[in-house]
Amino acid sequence: MSAQTGKIAIVTGANTGIGYEIALALYRAGAHVIMACRDLAKAEEATQRMKQEGGAGTLEGALIDLSRLDSVRSFAHLLLERYENLDLLINNAGIMVPPAGKTVDGFELQFGINFLGHFALTGHLLPLLSKTNGARVVTLSSGAHHLVNGIDYENLRLEKPYDAQREYAVSKLANILFSIELQRRIEQTGMSLISNAAHPGVTDSNLSRYMPADVYETAVKQFNGLMPTWQGALPALYAATSPAAQGGLYYGPDGEDGLHGYPAEAQVSSAAADEAEAAKLWRYAETATGVSYSF
């Protein structure tokens, strides 16, 4: 990865898993990394671990709870007051197959945290991103987005019987639709901002903490093992820093079915490439979050 000296980066969910490895790599490369976490104590603990490992950049912990749109707004406003520019926004934080539940604002947890919280965050921070030459927004998705053919707008507040895997897949489909649609809108303005997406393949992280042990063990065998967390972070780091990474594209491991390997362009599903669906989701998200993007 090239030097990131002088760049300002936000990584959501930076205290653990892939987010930790993304933040650590950027810190090592010289960036000022804002560790945007739901628990400030855990953010501080992660910061201290990174400092012990050493890096050329600087670190800052900050509080954000993506399950609360008021917390997202407060975090963003703090950044708008303190900074004049923002080079990288890594929309990484997420939750996978938890028990049925809703965000404070009434949305199914996975859709609310994985997608709506990041949609609102990106919109709030657009003023900083738009005036930073070459800024990038990287939104984390998953190969699981291939499991669904679209978004059921009548089931985003747990109106129907809960299917944890389906709801996870919907949230990750939404993330890709958002990322590609954001790039379309950027290109209409002539801005230098880039929006792309990435997925980690099958990676060892605590994202799977809600999976029953037997299901987890079966999945690991089916996938022929898991990659180490640092390797799962590489597609997002590639999307965020490589001169070859392009807006509107999706990156993941280059191995069979995108499960293992090193960064390469990945294939999106036909549902994720649907422009009409992306525009519909965008309208829904603006209404749901109260955040309208001003380019």
pLDDT of the residue at 225: 75
Question: Residue 295 falls within a domain, yes or no?
Answer: no
Question: Residue 128 falls within a domain, yes or no?
Answer: yes
Question: Residue 1 falls within a domain, yes or no?
Answer: no
Q: Please state the pTM of the whole predicted model.
A: 0.94
Answer whether residue 274 shows pLDDT above 60: yes
Question: Residue 269 falls within a domain, yes or no?
Answer: yes
Structure token digits, residue 278? 């992306």
pLDDT of the residue at 210: 54
Q: What is the mean pLDDT of residues 98-105?
A: 98
| Pair 9, 115: CB distance under 8 Å | no
Over the chain, what is the mean pLDDT?
93
Q: What is the spatial distance between Cα 66 and Cα 90, in angstroms, rounded to a whole number?
A: 14
| Pair 61, 47: CB distance under 8 Å | yes
Question: Residue 294 falls within a domain, yes or no?
Answer: no
Question: Residue 48 falls within a domain, yes or no?
Answer: yes
Q: State how far the alpha carbon of 116 is from the alpha carbons of 72, 125, 168, 174, 227, in Å.
A: 10, 14, 13, 9, 28
Answer whether residue 255 shows pLDDT above 90: no
Cβ-based neighbours of 105, under 8 Å, separated by 6 or more = 67, 68, 69, 112, 116, 288
CATH number, domain containing residue 106: 3.40.50.720
Question: Residue 22 falls within a domain, yes or no?
Answer: yes
The catalytic position among 20, 168, 238, 251 is 168
**Number of C-beta neighbours around residue 32 at 10 A:** 19
Q: What is the spatial distance between Cα 105 and Cα 20, in angstroms, rounded to a whole number?
A: 27
Answer whether residue 121 shows pLDDT above 60: yes
- As a whole-number percent, the residues of the chain with pLDDT over 70 amount to 93
pLDDT of the residue at 262: 96
Number of domains in the chain: 1
Q: What is the spatial distance between Cα 10 and Cα 37, in angstroms, rounded to a whole number?
A: 10
Strand partners, 37: 63
Q: Which domain holds residue 253?
A: 8-289
User: What is the pairing mode between strands 8-12 and 88-91?
Assistant: parallel
Q: What is the mean pLDDT of residues 142-161?
A: 98
Q: Has 20 been annotated as catalytic?
A: no
For the ranges 33-37, 40-44, 141-145, 211-215, which has the lowest average pLDDT? 211-215
pLDDT of the residue at 216: 44
Answer whether residue 272 shows pLDDT above 90: yes
Q: What is the pLDDT of residues 183-234, one digit of tens each?
A: 999 999 989 999 999 999 988 766 655 555 544 455 444 555 788 999 999 9
Question: Residue 151 falls within a domain, yes or no?
Answer: yes
Q: What is the mean pLDDT of residues 147-157?
A: 98
| Pair 22, 88: CB distance under 8 Å | no
pLDDT of the residue at 166: 98
Q: What is the spatial distance between Cα 93 and Cα 218, in angstroms, rounded to a whole number?
A: 25
Q: Which residues of 143-179 are buried (b: 16+ CB within 10 A; e: fewer)?
A: bbbbebebbeeebbbbeeeeebebbbbbbbbbbbbbb
**pLDDT grade for 237, boundaries at 50, 70 and 90:** very high
Answer whether residue 117 shows pLDDT above 50: yes
Q: What is the mean pLDDT of residues 125-138?
A: 97
Distance of CA 101 to the CA centre of its chain: 20
